[in-house]
Amino acid sequence: MKKKILVLCTGNSCRSQMAEGYLKHFAGKDAEVYSAGIEAHGLNPSAVRIMKEDGIDIAGQTSNTIQQYIGMPFDYLITVCDHAQEHCPVFPGSVTRIHHSFSDPAKATGSEEYVQNQFRQVRNAIKDFCRQFVSEYVHTDPHK
């Protein structure tokens, strides 16, 4: 049975968008993946570019607010920043909440090279988290 996953962040522009892209990639047809923010700040162009470097195209994803998903049943709610975890509304039903805070690459300052490296570091951490999440919660053997 398909798992329904919602990834939540503050602005749904970078971290939650990257996680949505990787979760879709790793889970394939075994999950429906959505992302949202407490607010919608629009898709960050650097996030799109840095994901494309790794072969994941998130350019077609949209920046949404959590209000769009209230009332929808989810198996998993993943918060990827502390602010989202603290301000996340209650979801009805038996949603499993998982929190893993990633630094916000959009707040990086300095040279273009430095900023892009910050995006890459966060992207790689999110990729590792998503790969592990899918292995543990989505692609599980029900006969174990």
DSSP 8-state secondary structure symbol assigned to residue 68: G
Q: Is 14 a catalytic residue?
A: no
pLDDT, one tens digit per residue, over 65-105 is 998 998 889 999 999 987 777 766 666 668 899 999 999 99
Domain ranges of the chain: 3-138
Nearest to 125 by CA among 54, 70, 34: 54
Q: Tell me the one-letter amino acid at 19.
A: A
Residue 5 has a pLDDT of 97
pLDDT, one tens digit per residue, over 97-141 is 999 999 999 999 999 999 999 999 999 999 999 999 999 999 875
Nearest to 79 by CA among 38, 107, 48, 108: 38
pLDDT, one tens digit per residue, over 53-66 is 999 999 999 999 99
CATH number assigned to the domain covering 3-138: 3.40.50.2300
Nearest to 37 by CA among 124, 136, 106, 112: 106
**Considering the chain, what is the average pLDDT of its residues?**
91
Instruction: Please enumerate in sequence order all residues whose Cβ is within 8 A of that of 72, keeping only pairs 6 or more positions apart, or say none.
Output: 4, 6
Round to whole Å and give the CA distance between 140 and 119. 30
- Full DSSP string of 82-125: HHHHHHPPP-SS-PEEEE-----GGG--S-HHHHHHHHHHHHHH
Catalytic residue among 88, 98, 108, 115: 88
pLDDT, one tens digit per residue, over 20-41 is 999 999 999 999 999 999 899 9
Catalytic residue among 5, 6, 9, 130: 9
Q: Is 9 a catalytic residue?
A: yes
Catalytic residue among 48, 77, 80, 81: 81
Is the overall model pTM greater than 0.85, yes or no?
A: yes
Count CB-CB contacts under 10 A for residue 67. 11
Q: Are 21 and 58 in contact (CB under 8 A)?
A: yes
